[in-house]
Structure 1
Amino acid sequence: MSDEDNAATRYGTQHWPLEIHYDSDSKTLRVDFDDGRSFTYPAEFLRVHSPSAEVQGHSPDQRQTVPGRKHVGIMAVEPVGNYAVRLRFDDLHDTGIYSWAYLRKLGEQQDTLWQQYLAELENQGLSREPQRRG
């Protein structure tokens, strides 16, 4: 088994990004994978699905629904080794490390995950809009 195969097994993906591009005007991150698949993620989607403990908790029942991020953007996309990126959001959240496998999963399940998020907001009486400061 090659070093590349070992890395793919260790990080849970056989698909590696060829290009990652953030468009600040549309607030979207595009990731092109080596198998020809490409996913475009709104910054809000990535923020509310951050893999950080702050959002995911330490078990599934501790996962947080993050409201008020409709207008969030990404300030920086920073490589983490050869297996992930850290996204620094303009709401100052920066503790999520997005592995290639996690980004792939988010891309493949984006529609379902987004609908679940919208349902969670509604069920909890929360909004995508930021709270107004009084």
Structure 2
Amino acid sequence: MSNDAASSDGTWESNHWPTEISYAKATKHLKITFDNGVTFDYPAELLRVESPSAEVQGHGPSQKKTVPGRRHVGIMAIEPVGNYAVRLRFDDLHDTGIFSWKYLYDLGERQDEIWQAYLADLEKKGLSRDP
């Protein structure tokens, strides 16, 4: 059974809302606890290379870009966007992705799978996590 519901405009929203958000600058990890008690710990690098921005995702699955060289990226600011998302401002100056609660929850649930696919894609393209 899904915890998601269609909104009046046809988009999908998550029923999971964050109750706590914290960023550890030293480890460059964003930690979010949701109202169902689930906590996810996201490396800034993962959030940057999986940014929901058009710059990274393109305008469809076939246009998704592989973003290399972000091993040391950090987050400079976390800004609320309405009551449904946050904008993350990264220290490489990327700031166009709006991370909805649903996107972050799904990313947290699939983090290992997404990370392994990213590493495989880097290797396939001869790219590196290092700048």
Q: Could you say which TM-score interval applies, normalised by the shorter chain?
A: over 0.9
Identity over aligned residues, as a percent?
67
Q: Tell me the SS of whatever aligns to 2:99.
A: strand
Match for residue 40 of structure 2?
A: 39
Moved over 2 A (4+): 8-11
TM-score, with length taken from structure 1: 0.90
Query: How far apart, in 2, do the equivalents of 1:33 and 1:108 lie?
Result: 12
In structure 1, stretches of 5+ residues that fail to align are: 1-7
Cα drift, residue 46 of structure 1: 0.2
Match for residue 18 of structure 1?
A: 19
**1:53 corresponds to 2:54:** yes
Q: Tell me the SS of whatever aligns to 1:95.
A: coil
Deviates more, 1:11-20 or 1:49-58: 11-20
Q: Tell me the SS of whatever aligns to 1:12.
A: strand
Cα drift, residue 12 of structure 1: 1.5
Q: Tell me the SS of whatever aligns to 2:14.
A: coil
Match for residue 117 of structure 2?
A: 116
Any idea what the Cα deviations from partners look like across 1:31-84, whole Å, max 9, x if unmatched? 000000000000000000000000000011110000000000000000000000
Supply the RMSD in Å over aligned alpha carbons: 1.2
Match for residue 90 of structure 1?
A: 91
In structure 2, stretches of 5+ residues that fail to align are: none
Cα drift, residue 9 of structure 1: 3.9
Query: How far apart, in 1, do the equivalents of 2:71 and 2:52 lie?
Result: 18
Match for residue 71 of structure 2?
A: 70
Matched residues, number: 124
**Which structure would you say has the larger Rg?**
1
> Larger strand proportion, structure 1 or 2?
2
> Larger helix proportion, structure 1 or 2?
1
TM-score, with length taken from structure 2: 0.92
